[in-house]
Every structure is written in structure tokens, then in C-alpha cells.
Structure 1
Amino acid sequence: MIYYFNIFYFIFYILATFLMVIYKSQVFTFPGGYLALDLVLLILMIILEVTRLYHGFKGNLTEETVPIVINLVLTIGSMLLSLYYLLWQTYVLKADVIMNAILLIIYGLEEILDIIAVSSFARTYT
């Protein structure tokens, strides 16, 4: 169920982050190349999230441990990108902090539940 919530929240997150990057580019002066870096990392985050959610859904539906372990590893990358937007992007607004904190909480819950699922599937099928 948390994967379904994550889909809707991530769509909101990407749209809001993209609009905030546009807003920041109009209001603030970006040092050379940092605007492009923020946008490239946002695209990378989209690709990583789609791949991660695919493996998460596949692992849960088929009750296989390998896709869930892949999801666990990809979640670490998504968490690092979320931390970038929380702490290290060029300009961090209060909305960035709130949205990334919620996203990190969702990722943390998914990690805990994925670990429980992997241990449960491993016990059941071994």
C-alpha cells in the first residue's frame, strides 16, 4: 500500500520540485551550471524512482526476494538524491525541506517493510 501512496506523492513531488526550480531560476541568480545540475539530478531521480517502484511492485506481487533487494539498493540512491534536494541544492526553500522530509520518511518506511518482506519470503521459500 505504501508503494501506491509513493506513486501519487512522487508525482506531486516531481511537479512541485520542477516548478520550484523554475521559480528559483526566475527569482535568484544561479551560479554557472548549478541550474542544469539541479534539473539533471531531478531527471535522474525520476528514472531511478520508476525503476525502483517497478522492482518493488514486482517483488511484492511475485514474493521474490531478488527484486525487493534491488529495490532496497535503489532506495538508497533515491534517498541520497532526496538528501541532495534537502541539503545541498543551490537554494533550499522551506517547501523543499517539508517535501523532502516527507519523502525521506516514506523511503524509510519502505526500507523497513522491504526488509521485513525479504526476511519473510526467505523463511517461507527456503
Structure 2
Amino acid sequence: MAMPRPGRSAIVLSSVPFQLLLYLTAIYFIFYFLSTLSMIIYKSRVLSYPDDRLACDVGLLLLMAALEALRLFCGVKGNLKETEGFVVANLVLTGTTVLLSVYFLAWQSYVLRADVIANSVLLVAYGMGGVLAFIIVARFTSVYS
């Protein structure tokens, strides 16, 4: 019989669906980043894209990529180490990346149909991840308190 970890429950609380969703979201975000960057380049060549808006859109896309990497790190670490702090950080970062995704969905200078499709898929993944993260935080806090 396995000995319980010090300060932890003998029950494994990590979520396989959440871990899988984080992995799939990471793969999809690579596609999303490259396609959004390609569409920004396309729009800047074909349409009259204001220079200040172009710099803003590229900067926000790079910020979104950095926040996504941090979000995935916090989610994976929090899930595998069963610490609610990292999962809560994942939730906060998910909210921030959702706002950036909504920007690219509705508020950028030109929105193509491909933008709508790519952002809709990303928002669905973020929604599912948020629901799973809330469940995980509730499970971690109920067992450890």
C-alpha cells in the first residue's frame, strides 16, 4: 500500500481531461498564432491597414502568445502538483486571453471569416478549460481544507 504524501491526500486529484485539454489547446494555439499572424500580414498588404493599428494588432498577438505560454504552464503545474494557486492563476490568465481573443474576433480593424472561425474555436476551448479549472479548484480546496 502506498504511503500518503506529506500534507497531501492519498487520492490523486489531478484531472486527465484538463491535462488533455491543455495539451490540445497548446497545439491549437500554435496554429492560431501562425494563422492570425498570416492574416494580419495579408490584411496589411491587401487592405489599407493603418500603421498604428498594425503595430497594435501584432503587439497584442505577441502579448497573447506570452500569456498563453504562462497560462499553459500554470495549468499544467497546478494540475500535476495539485496546487490550487497555479490553477487559479490559470483561470485569471484564461480570462485575459479570452479578452484578447474577443479583440481579434470583433474589435480589430478588419475581421475576416477565417478570424471568426479561428477565434470561435479558441473561445470554445477556453470555455471548456475554464469550467474544468473551476471544478479542479473546487476539488483541491474541498480535499485540502
TM class by shorter chain equals: over 0.9
| Residue identity in the other structure for 1:89 | Q
Q: Which runs of 5+ in 2 are unaligned?
A: 1-19
Aligned to 2:126: 107
Aligned to 2:100: 81
Aligned equivalents of 1:75, 1:50: Cα separation in 2:
11
- Stretch of structure 1 that moved more, 33-42 or 23-32: 23-32
SS at match of 2:48: coil
Aligned equivalents of 2:61, 2:121: Cα separation in 1:
17
Task: Determine whether 1:42 maps to 2:61.
Answer: yes
Higher Cα Rg, which structure: 2
SS at match of 2:54: helix
Aligned equivalents of 1:51, 1:60: Cα separation in 2:
14
Aligned to 2:114: 95
Number of residue pairs aligned between Structure 1 and Structure 2 = 126
Q: Give TM-score, length-normalised by structure 1.
A: 0.98
| Residue identity in the other structure for 2:132 | L
Aligned equivalents of 2:64, 2:26: Cα separation in 1:
13
Aligned to 1:64: 83
Aligned equivalents of 2:71, 2:26: Cα separation in 1:
11
Q: Give TM-score, length-normalised by structure 2.
A: 0.86
Aligned equivalents of 1:109, 1:85: Cα separation in 2:
20
| Residue identity in the other structure for 1:36 | A
Q: Which runs of at least 4 in structure 1 moved beyond 4 Å after TM superposition?
A: none
Q: What root-mean-square deviation, in Å, do the aligned CA atoms of Structure 1 and Structure 2 show?
A: 0.6
Q: Which runs of 5+ in 1 are unaligned?
A: none
Q: CA deviation at 1:125?
A: 1.2
**Pick aligned residue for 2:48 from 29, 36, 42:** 29
Q: CA deviation at 1:32?
A: 3.8
